[in-house]
């Protein structure tokens, strides 16, 4: 029989292997649900519901839910927060949770301003949320500017730290679009764009090494700019050669591919 879980914490690491020493390959955010695939002692191999990404998390970082709850959450409208909010329970020992942008509010009750994670009810006073609708290209790129300066973090998927593809995936998800987790996976969706001059705001630009292996991704902005996570979330110049760092006076990433993720 399949087993399921949900995250009651703000953000947790997902490891490549069942060890605290293993690299973090992504993160799970508050409200994320998943299927449990395997267990080794305190470690659980999981598959995230909304993008099928797999990795290992610890037993202390989630609460189990029933198949009925899991399926109900898969059917109900997905409420994703676009700014950091505070959540608390009736138990003072739980403290205050600072929920990052991109977190989901499961079983959201807009009359009471509460959501429910397993059997735990969280209160989010003073906020007004509605079911999100997909934003247009320009709105998406304008929203991305809010994260300029956020530090780079390998495997990061929150405003505490992003990696390049995690930044792209999070921006798109908050704005109503689902993309795969890794840059190489993201490069396989959408429509090819032949020239940088044809690229529109919100298109994706992919970069790589001399062997043409994709290692980096960013979001195209107006006026031949790009926003991407490299050292930190930053804005640089983009042309047919790649990303040009004006402070360093050189190209830092070689352009391999441009894609329109809004159309196949």
Active site residue 216: yes
Q: Where are the alpha helices (DSSP H) in the chain?
A: 67-75, 137-144, 164-174, 183-186
Active site residue 115: no
Q: Torsion over CA of 208, 221, 243 and 176, rounded to 10 degrees?
A: -20
Task: Indicate which residue of 20, 160, 216, 263 is catalytic.
Answer: 216
Biggest alpha carbon–alpha carbon distance for the chain: 58
Task: Indicate which residue of 115, 128, 164, 253 is catalytic.
Answer: 164
CA separation for the pair 60, 78 (Å, rounded): 25
CA separation for the pair 9, 63 (Å, rounded): 10
Task: Indicate which residue of 228, 240, 253, 263 is catalytic.
Answer: 228
Question: Strand (E) positions, 59-171?
Answer: 63-65, 85-88, 96-99, 114-117, 120-123, 157-158, 161-162
3-state secondary structure of 92: helix
Determine if residue 161 is left, alpha or beta; phi over 0 gives left, psi from -120 to 50 gives alpha, anything else beta.
Answer: left
Active site residue 164: yes
46 DSSP β-pair partners? 36, 55
Could you tell me if 101 and 159 are in contact, meaning their C-beta atoms sit under 8 angstroms apart? Answer: yes
**Active-site residue list:** 164, 216, 228
């Amino acid at each position: 029989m399949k087993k399921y879980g949900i995250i009651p914490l703000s953000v947790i690491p997902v490891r490549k292997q069942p060890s605290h020493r293993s690299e973090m390959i992504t993160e799970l955010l508050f409200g994320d649900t998943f299927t449990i695939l395997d267990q080794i002692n305190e470690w659980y191999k999981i598959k995230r519901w909304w993008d099928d990404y797999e990795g290992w998390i610890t037993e202390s970082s989630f609460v189990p839910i029933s198949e009925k709850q899991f399926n109900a959450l898969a059917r109900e409208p997905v409420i994703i927060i676009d700014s950091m909010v505070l959540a608390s329970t009736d138990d003072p020992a739980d403290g205050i949770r600072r929920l990052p942008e991109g977190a989901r509010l499961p079983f959201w009750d807009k009359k009471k301003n509460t959501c429910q994670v397993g059997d735990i009810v969280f209160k989010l006073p003073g906020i007004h949320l509605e079911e999100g609708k997909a934003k247009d290209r320009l709105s998406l790129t304008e929203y991305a500017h809010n994260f300029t300066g956020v530090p780079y973090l390998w495997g990061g998927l929150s405003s505490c730290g992003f990696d390049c593809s995690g930044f792209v995936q999070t921006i798109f998800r908050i704005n109503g679009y689902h993309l795969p987790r890794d840059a190489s996976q993201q490069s396989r969706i959408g429509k090819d764009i032949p020239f940088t001059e044809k690229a529109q705001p919100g298109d994706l630009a992919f970069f790589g090494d001399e062997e043409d292996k994709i290692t980096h991704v960013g979001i195209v902005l107006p006026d031949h700019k790009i926003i991407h996570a490299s050292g930190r979330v930053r804005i640089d110049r983009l042309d047919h050669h790649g990303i040009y760092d004006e402070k360093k006076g050189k190209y830092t990433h070689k352009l391999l591919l441009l894609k329109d993720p809004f159309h196949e």
